[in-house]
């Protein structure tokens, strides 16, 4: 009888602790949930999820909404909360096993980099601080008249130094994404220069339709890079959208 009372007390204690942790997670997630869901919706749309083949074809080339700074931050914060929840589940599992006598299946941890590595890499990408994600680390130019040597950041051409190596499967994929951006940027420059001959410098103020088209291609190519990182963050939370294609 006494053993049953002790076991009942331990069960109630475990339930209460679990409820408190769940409540804490829910309260913290409320701060980011709206932006998180908005980000997921944009990413799903960019992948064409839920569309027919005809709709996907019609949507090709259409401007997709960029992730806002708030949405990108929400993805990171929700990943941190998810990681915390994982650790709590690992703590509760041995207690549950003791009570039930059965082998409790541990919460399977998804393979991902350490939190410090994720946060450091996203900081390099200006993930939560800039309107657009940084996708290259162009060397800083020395200021005119200054003899002070310019401090060089580790070059991203070395894949291990490139923060994108956590989010992309290979350097070849990264290079292809960068080339797509550069090609679109070059097309913008070419159309702007040709516009100067026909319309003068007002072509820079009021871009032609062709220039605007290439400017949209630049934005789309840049956003594709951002989306790759965002999708990987979702993968690490067990919410892969890429598998749903």
pLDDT, residue 158, reads: 94
Residue 40 domain-assigned (yes or no): yes
pLDDT, residue 6, reads: 46
Residue 145 domain-assigned (yes or no): no
Residue 144 domain-assigned (yes or no): no
Residue 188 domain-assigned (yes or no): yes
Residue 177 domain-assigned (yes or no): yes
CB within 8 A of 167, min separation 6: which ones? 121, 228, 229, 232
Collect the ranges in the chain with pLDDT lower than 70: 1-22, 50-64, 90-109, 139-153, 195-207, 242-245
Of the candidates 165, 53, 63, 44, the residue with the CA atom closest to the CA atom of residue 113: 165
CB within 8 A of 227, min separation 6: which ones? 43, 46, 67
pLDDT, residue 189, reads: 85
Residue 185 domain-assigned (yes or no): yes
Cα separation of 220 and 232, whole Å?
A: 18
pLDDT, residue 208, reads: 72
Residue 168 domain-assigned (yes or no): yes
Model confidence pTM above 0.85: no
User: Which residues constitute the domain of residue 47?
Assistant: 1-139+152-244
pLDDT, residue 180, reads: 95
Cα separation of 112 and 9, whole Å?
A: 37
Residue 147 domain-assigned (yes or no): no
Domain count, the chain: 1
Of the candidates 184, 141, 139, 133, the residue with the CA atom closest to the CA atom of residue 163: 133
pLDDT, residue 77, reads: 96
């Amino acid at each position: 009888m006494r053993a049953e009372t002790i076991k009942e007390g331990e069960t109630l204690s475990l339930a209460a602790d679990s409820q408190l942790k769940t409540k804490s997670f829910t309260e913290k997630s409320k701060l980011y949930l709206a932006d998180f869901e908005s980000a997921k919706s944009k990413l799903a749309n960019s992948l064409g999820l839920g569309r027919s083949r005809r709709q996907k074809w019609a949507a090709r080339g259409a401007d997709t909404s960029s992730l806002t700074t708030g949405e990108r931050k929400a993805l990171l914060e929700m990943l941190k909360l998810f990681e915390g929840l994982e650790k709590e589940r690992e703590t509760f599992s041995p207690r549950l096993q003791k009570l039930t006598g059965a082998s409790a299946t541990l919460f399977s941890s998804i393979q991902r980099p350490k939190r410090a590595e994720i946060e450091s890499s996203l900081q390099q990408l200006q993930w939560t601080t800039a309107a657009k994600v940084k996708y290259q680390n162009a060397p800083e130019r020395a200021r005119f008249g200054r003899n002070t040597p310019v401090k060089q950041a580790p070059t991203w051409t070395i894949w291990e130094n490139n923060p994108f190596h956590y989010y992309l499967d290979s350097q070849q994929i990264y290079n292809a994404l960068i080339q797509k951006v550069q090609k679109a940027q070059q097309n913008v420059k070419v159309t702007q220069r040709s516009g100067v001959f026909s319309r003068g410098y007002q072509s820079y103020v009021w871009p032609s339709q062709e220039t605007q088209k290439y400017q949209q291609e630049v934005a789309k190519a840049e956003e594709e890079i951002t989306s790759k990182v965002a999708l990987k963050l979702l993968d690490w939370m067990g919410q892969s959208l890429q598998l749903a294609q």
